A = this chain, B = another copy of it.
């Protein structure tokens, strides 16, 4: 299955905050309108980013902003903040394999190391891209659009 859109939405939200922070107050409604999702979805997501120390959200008067240097936030930080898979395991196993079968009762010990290595490759690549990179990409795309 695909990695939840929460991840791409979170990146979208961070780009928006950075892009529009001067022009607009960054409310959950404003972000929800760009993403075209419900504002409660955005607020929950902002809570997850807040717990991860990526954004600050002002209660009451409203407004969110990024509270870290953009090049100190990697895609992996965002992924980790919003993807709430138990133990952070990418691969799902079928429950209760047959303990009477030598393969069934060992399937985890057989596969875990290899799968972890694969997951590490994914995470390493995610760590190599920062939100600063993405914001640069974004500015370039938006500029090109106007040509």
Interface residues of A (CB under 8 A from B): 1-5, 7-9, 11-12, 15-16, 19, 33-37, 75, 83, 85, 89-98, 101-104, 106-107, 109-111, 113-115, 117-118, 121-122, 124-126, 129, 133-134, 137-138, 141-142, 145
Chain B residue at minimum C-beta to C-beta distance from A16: B103
Chain B residues near A98: list those with CB within 8 A.
33-36
Known contacts A94-B35, A94-B37, A111-B8: does B118 contact A19 (CB below 8 Å)? no
| Complex CA distance for A117 and B124, rounded to whole angstroms | 11
| Complex CA distance for A129 and B112, rounded to whole angstroms | 13
Q: How far is the CB of A115 from chain B (nearest CB, A)?
A: 8
Chain B residues near A2: list those with CB within 8 A.
1, 85, 89-92
Chain B residues near A93: list those with CB within 8 A.
5, 8
Q: How far is the CB of A16 from chain B (nearest CB, A)?
A: 5
Q: How far is the CB of A99 from chain B (nearest CB, A)?
A: 9
Chain B residues near A15: list those with CB within 8 A.
103, 107, 110
Sorted nearest first, the 8 A-B pairs with minimum C-beta distance are A121-B125, A2-B92, A34-B101, A5-B92, A122-B122, A5-B94, A118-B125, A34-B104
